[in-house]
C-alpha cells in the first residue's frame, strides 16, 4: 500500500533543492569529470522526487530518467576521456577548440549535451516531462524549483559544449 505522500513534501523539496544546488555547482566546475559527476547528482534529485510522490507517471518518469541518465552520463564520460587522451587535461578552459581538431567528436558532444539538457525527442525529455507533470499535479508551486533546475541544467550543458568545442585550440602538438 502506498503511503500518504503529503508527509513527503519536505523530502521532495529537499531533493529538488539538492538537485538545484548540484546544478549550480556544475556551473562552477573547472574539471570536466567533476562537472559530469555533479550533473548525475542533479538528475538523481529529480528521480528521488518522482519516486517519493508514488504516482504512476512519477515512477514511469523516474525509470525513464534513470535509463536515459545511464546512457547520457556514460557517453559524457566517454567523450571526456577522449578529450583527456588528446589534451592530457580535464580543465575546461584548456580543452577548447575541438571543433577544428575532431569535427565528428564535436557532433557527439552536441548530441550528448542536448540529451543531457532533455531536449525532445530524447529519452531524458520523456523522463523529465513525466516527472515535471506528476510533480506539478501533486503540488503546482513546485514548478518554480523545476523551472530553475531545468534552466541551470541547460546553462551548464551549453557551457560544457562551448568550453570544450569552440574557440581557439590550446593544443601545441600536431594531431
pLDDT, average across residues 32-55: 95
In a domain, 3, yes or no: no
Q: What is the pLDDT of residue 2?
A: 57
In a domain, 2, yes or no: no
Range of the domain at 78: 8-87+96-165
Q: Which of 18, 8, 119 is nearest to 68 (CA)?
A: 119
How many domains does the structure of the chain reveal? 1
The Cα angle at residue 149 between residues 142 and 46, in degrees rounded to 5 = 70
Q: What is the pLDDT of residue 45?
A: 95
- Reported pTM: 0.89
In a domain, 170, yes or no: no
In a domain, 145, yes or no: yes
In a domain, 172, yes or no: no
In a domain, 1, yes or no: no
Quick check: 172 pLDDT over 80?
no
pLDDT, average across residues 126-132: 97
In a domain, 171, yes or no: no
In a domain, 36, yes or no: yes
- Quote the mean pLDDT of the chain: 91
pLDDT tens figures, 47-69 = 999 999 989 999 999 999 999 99
Amino acid at each position: 500500500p502506498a503511503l500518504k505522500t503529503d508527509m513527503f513534501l519536505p523530502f521532495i523539496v529537499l531533493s529538488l533543492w539538492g538537485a538545484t544546488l548540484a546544478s549550480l555547482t556544475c556551473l562552477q566546475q573547472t574539471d570536466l569529470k567533476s562537472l559530469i559527476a555533479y550533473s548525475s547528482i542533479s538528475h538523481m534529485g529529480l528521480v528521488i522526487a518522482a519516486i517519493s510522490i508514488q504516482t504512476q507517471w512519477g515512477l514511469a518518469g523516474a525509470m525513464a530518467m534513470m535509463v536515459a541518465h545511464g546512457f547520457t552520463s556514460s557517453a559524457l564520460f566517454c567523450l571526456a576521456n577522449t578529450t583527456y587522451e588528446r589534451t592530457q587535461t580535464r580543465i575546461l578552459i584548456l580543452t577548447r577548440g575541438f571543433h577544428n581538431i575532431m569535427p565528428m567528436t564535436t557532433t557527439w558532444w552536441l548530441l550528448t549535451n542536448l540529451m543531457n539538457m532533455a531536449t525532445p525527442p530524447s529519452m531524458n525529455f520523456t523522463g523529465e516531462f513525466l516527472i515535471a507533470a506528476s510533480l506539478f499535479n501533486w503540488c503546482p508551486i513546485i514548478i518554480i524549483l523545476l523551472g530553475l533546475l531545468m534552466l541551470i541544467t541547460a546553462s551548464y550543458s551549453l557551457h560544457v559544449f562551448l568550453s570544450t568545442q569552440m574557440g581557439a585550440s590550446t593544443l601545441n602538438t600536431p594531431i
